[in-house]
Structure 1
Amino acid sequence: MIHPVIMAGGTGSRLWPLSRQLNPKQFLKLTDGPLSMLQATVERLQGMDAKEPLLICNEEHRFLAAEQMRQSGHDNTRIILEPCGRNTAPAIALAALELMENTSEANPIMLVLAADHLIKNTSAFQEGVSKAIPLAQQGKVVTFGIVPQHPETGYGYIHQGEELADNCFTVDKFVEKPDLETAEAYLACGEYLWNSGMFLFRAQDYLNELEAHRPDILAACKAAMSGASEDLHFTRVNAEAFARCPSDSIDFAVMEKTDKAAVVALDAGWSDIGSWSALWDVSEKDAAGNSLSGDVIAHDTQNTLVRADSRLVATVGVENLVVIETKDALLVAHKDRVQEVKSIVEQIRDDGRHEHMNHREVYRPWGVYDSIDNGARYQVKRITVKPGAKLSVQMHHHRAEHWIVVSGTAQVTNGEKTYLVTENQSTYIPVGQVHSLENPGVIDLELIEVQSGSYLGEDDIVRFEDRYGRK
């Protein structure tokens, strides 16, 4: 029996403007099909002798992760919340400590996966995992190396050592991202694999290796877990203790130092979709080499990726471009320079803008809101509240709110009064009034909120009561 551990942290800034800090690529539907990257990772486990997945994600993504797991039929998934990012070695240590504490097995086997990888051949993936299990039972710390399809300069590589079993090897060495000439030599040699960032090992074996090579990381993670608290399905580690943990990847902290490393060669249609050009590589294309999604008209256009989310996008006489349209941003880039999108995100952040943080649509544990329009002293939102969900009991110092119900029924608390507001009816919340909004029905509640006042920031919220544990 294996215990899947899915790492769902990270921001995916190279996939801006679709990927944002509060809604990064692991929660997006980037490829064809109805599933997000996280949900596809979970579905890939179907048919395996596996326990319920254990998730690790950032504190700010907790409700998004929980909702996507619920949609996938995993209502009781445990989620470890990282109060700050400390890279993969500490994240995996938290999961190993959790499993050692809360499973009946003496040394449970962990299958560590990233939530934002594409794997087209599920059966080949599962076969590779099966080959890795006996190695882990022998005390090996196993990683999965991807059989390279071309001379890639964007990935690290693993040099195969002694063959242990069919497509299973010791690790001779890890090498950093090569230049093109070196990558071509690796491909021709046939002894090098792409470093995938997926692993399989026993929990205590990993902790022992961490103790041997980075005891400072292990000590900080033990302190963080010893001060952890449980909140719904979330495990909240001690924030102060975890903040003191050094940041390091599992590759640098353990894999490059241990003498127990093994690698399973995997040929399963893998991609980490680390850039828009990588998404173009794995997408279906028309006869002109274009990958088009949404309302797109492409005239005399070749080898181009176009994604239109909210309006018509037309291209004329272009090639080798990436065109990504969202409700609040448009990216046009040459396919050969999409790695520089991260620089745009940094400039947006440095300029004090918000487009790196979230979309016009913002997800909350109770539903979603879309900022339709705004001006100097007003803002208009379309709000959707899920059946049975409730916004916090709150007040605002600087703004009043008008609510107009479009569909469904709202139960409104407005000061001392509680009443229902139905379709085509409205209500008014004055500045400073304690209020709340709830959907008592069985269908989505949709309403238009018009805010007016001297300050309309999301931080002008004083919460008195919240069923989702927000401050």
Structure 2
Amino acid sequence: MIHPVIMAGGTGSRLWPLSRQLNPKQFLKLTDQHLSMLQLTVARLDGMESADPLLICNEDHRFLAAEQMRQAGYKDARIILEPCGRNTAPAIALAALQLVKNIDENQNPLMLVLAADHLIKDIAAFQSGIQKAIPLAQQDKLVTFGIVPGHAETGYGYIQQGPKLADDSFSVSRFVEKPDQTTAEEYLASGDYLWNSGMFLFGARTYLQELQKHRPDILAICQAALDDASEDLHFTRVNESVFAECPEDSIDYAVMEKTDNAAVVALDAGWSDIGSWSALWEVSEKDSCGNAFSGDVIAHNTESTLVRADSRLVATVGVKDLVIIETKDALLVAHKDQVQDVKKVVERIKNDGRHEHMNHREVYRPWGVYDSIDNGHRYQVKRITVKPGAKLSVQMHHHRAEHWIVVSGTAKVTNGEESYLVTENQSTYIPVGQIHCLENPGVIDLELIEVQSGSYLGEDDIVRFEDRYGRS
């Protein structure tokens, strides 16, 4: 049996404005109308003999990850929280240590390490590649999956194949960095190079042994951080102060480029890491003019263009080779040849003290979601959705009062010493400094409009007294 380990960290800044720091690309529905990239990653394991996935994600994404795993059928998904990003070598070490915890020392569970934000179109070929890798991993090989290149790509690292080991399987001659165009063309022509996918299969103890050999400092810190971990709901929280001291290093640099036991399985499964808007255009279905449209789009004399309209009509006239991405609070227009520089726009937004890189207008919480509809001097309006049975924290605000108007469903309101129900077309008022709480006791979503007024309306003006979701 294999143990899937899904890496769900990262921010995906090159896919702004859709990908945001608090809602990055692995949680977005980029290539499927119904499933996020994370959910597609989980779904492609269907039919395989595998354990429930172990997820590794950032602390800030914990509730979003848990909710998407619940929607995927894993109500009590196992999730390791990284308090800070330290690259893939430490993250995989945490997963390996967790897998060998409390089992016999002779057991060496096979870890299938997958990225949560990759696209794989041919699932049968993907699963076939895993089956070819299993015997190698059982022989203590550290197996990576190399993608059969379809063109001379400069955006990926490459793996040079060594002697053949089995069907579509080779020893690794060397790993090479992202090449220039001439070198990439040479790699493609030689037939000896594969794209480095960042997917792996190996025994958990095998990986830990290699890490001990090549980067014992990383292993020691990860072990100490996990030894002092705490369990919170179904989250495993490693010790933040200890883990923060861990060196940042990728699994390639820390282990794969140094080990003598690396093997690669050649995989031709319609793989893409969707690393840019041009990459998404390439894998999307297109019309006869080479356009890929999503949402409400009207196009005239438009060619080879990607348009994603999330909240309103987008019309194009006489354009070619563009990327146009519309969200409720931002619009990106870029040439397809320049989309790698979108991250520079994100850097500018950060440096200017703006907030459009952090989150969308819609913000997900463990109890539901809110949409910041409008705001101005001393006021803000939100549309709030509370899931059935969910409850916001018992809290108070120093600087704002709140008016709640119920649109649909029933709200159970705690307002100081009082507790009462508010139903459709009814409202209530929460004064500044009043301890209060909102709960949905019903079986349908609670929808309400919240009007905030006061001298300061920031999200950090919340004093929590009680919270079922473990938030401070």
2:77 corresponds to: 77
Give the SS at the match of 2:26: helix
4+ long deviations beyond 2 Å = 102-105
2:317 corresponds to: 316
Give the SS at the match of 1:265: strand
TM-score normalised per structure 1 = 0.99
> How many residue pairs align between the two structures?
471
2:330 corresponds to: 329
**AA paired with 2:256?**
M
Once residues 28 and 435 of structure 1 are traced to their aligned partners in structure 2, the CA distance between those partners, rounded to angstroms, is 33
Once residues 372 and 242 of structure 2 are traced to their aligned partners in structure 1, the CA distance between those partners, rounded to angstroms, is 37
> CA shift at 1:33, angstroms?
3.4
1:403 corresponds to: 404
Do structure 1's residue 256 and structure 2's residue 257 form an aligned pair? yes
**AA paired with 1:297?**
I
1:275 corresponds to: 276
Once residues 426 and 386 of structure 2 are traced to their aligned partners in structure 1, the CA distance between those partners, rounded to angstroms, is 16
> Which has the larger displacement, 179-188 or 423-432?
179-188
Once residues 387 and 103 of structure 2 are traced to their aligned partners in structure 1, the CA distance between those partners, rounded to angstroms, is 34
2:62 corresponds to: 62
2:25 corresponds to: 25
Percent of matched pairs sharing the same residue: 81
Once residues 426 and 212 of structure 1 are traced to their aligned partners in structure 2, the CA distance between those partners, rounded to angstroms, is 64
Give the SS at the match of 2:101: helix
**AA paired with 2:344?**
S
- Cα deviation, 1:96-116, whole Å, max 9, x if unaligned, reads 000000456711000000000
**AA paired with 2:267?**
L
Once residues 292 and 110 of structure 1 are traced to their aligned partners in structure 2, the CA distance between those partners, rounded to angstroms, is 38
Once residues 103 and 82 of structure 1 are traced to their aligned partners in structure 2, the CA distance between those partners, rounded to angstroms, is 23
> Which has the larger displacement, 100-109 or 46-55?
100-109
> CA shift at 1:161, angstroms?
0.1
> Which has the larger displacement, 364-373 or 101-110?
101-110
Once residues 227 and 343 of structure 1 are traced to their aligned partners in structure 2, the CA distance between those partners, rounded to angstroms, is 38
Give the SS at the match of 2:308: strand
**AA paired with 2:240?**
A
Once residues 32 and 354 of structure 1 are traced to their aligned partners in structure 2, the CA distance between those partners, rounded to angstroms, is 27
Give the SS at the match of 1:403: strand
**AA paired with 2:63?**
F
Do structure 1's residue 13 and structure 2's residue 13 form an aligned pair? yes
Once residues 296 and 194 of structure 1 are traced to their aligned partners in structure 2, the CA distance between those partners, rounded to angstroms, is 35
Give the SS at the match of 2:356: coil
TM-score normalised per structure 2 = 0.99
Once residues 32 and 247 of structure 1 are traced to their aligned partners in structure 2, the CA distance between those partners, rounded to angstroms, is 33
Mapping of residues 137-152 of structure 1, within 5 Å = 137-152=138-153
1:452 corresponds to: 453
Once residues 410 and 289 of structure 2 are traced to their aligned partners in structure 1, the CA distance between those partners, rounded to angstroms, is 50
> CA shift at 1:19, angstroms?
0.3
Once residues 232 and 10 of structure 1 are traced to their aligned partners in structure 2, the CA distance between those partners, rounded to angstroms, is 23
**AA paired with 1:198?**
M
Once residues 448 and 160 of structure 2 are traced to their aligned partners in structure 1, the CA distance between those partners, rounded to angstroms, is 58
**AA paired with 1:152?**
E
**AA paired with 1:83?**
P
Give the SS at the match of 2:179: coil
Give the SS at the match of 2:41: helix
Once residues 10 and 200 of structure 1 are traced to their aligned partners in structure 2, the CA distance between those partners, rounded to angstroms, is 21
> Which has the larger displacement, 406-415 or 97-106?
97-106
Mapping of residues 33-112 of structure 1, within 5 Å = 33-103=33-103, 106-112=107-113
**AA paired with 1:90?**
P
Give the SS at the match of 2:51: coil
Give the SS at the match of 2:217: helix
Once residues 319 and 65 of structure 2 are traced to their aligned partners in structure 1, the CA distance between those partners, rounded to angstroms, is 38
Measured on the aligned residues, the alpha-carbon RMSD in Å equals: 0.7
Distance of aligned partners of 1:391 and 1:100 in 2 relative to their CA distance in 1, 3 Å threshold = same
**AA paired with 1:304?**
T
Distance of aligned partners of 1:102 and 1:10 in 2 relative to their CA distance in 1, 3 Å threshold = farther
2:366 corresponds to: 365
> CA shift at 1:231, angstroms?
0.8
Mapping of residues 225-264 of structure 1, within 5 Å = 225-264=226-265
Once residues 457 and 79 of structure 1 are traced to their aligned partners in structure 2, the CA distance between those partners, rounded to angstroms, is 29
2:299 corresponds to: 298
**AA paired with 1:184?**
E
- Cα deviation, 1:174-196, whole Å, max 9, x if unaligned, reads 00001111111111111100000
**AA paired with 2:50?**
A
**AA paired with 1:190?**
G
Once residues 327 and 415 of structure 1 are traced to their aligned partners in structure 2, the CA distance between those partners, rounded to angstroms, is 36
1:188 corresponds to: 189
**AA paired with 1:438?**
E
Once residues 207 and 91 of structure 2 are traced to their aligned partners in structure 1, the CA distance between those partners, rounded to angstroms, is 12
- Cα deviation, 1:36-79, whole Å, max 9, x if unaligned, reads 00000000000001000000000010000000000011112100
- Cα deviation, 1:115-170, whole Å, max 9, x if unaligned, reads 00000000000000000000001010000000000110000000000100010000
> CA shift at 1:32, angstroms?
3.0
> CA shift at 1:301, angstroms?
0.5
Once residues 470 and 114 of structure 1 are traced to their aligned partners in structure 2, the CA distance between those partners, rounded to angstroms, is 27
Once residues 340 and 89 of structure 2 are traced to their aligned partners in structure 1, the CA distance between those partners, rounded to angstroms, is 25
Give the SS at the match of 1:277: helix
Once residues 466 and 129 of structure 1 are traced to their aligned partners in structure 2, the CA distance between those partners, rounded to angstroms, is 42
- Cα deviation, 1:321-340, whole Å, max 9, x if unaligned, reads 00000000000000001000
**AA paired with 1:441?**
G
Once residues 102 and 169 of structure 2 are traced to their aligned partners in structure 1, the CA distance between those partners, rounded to angstroms, is 31
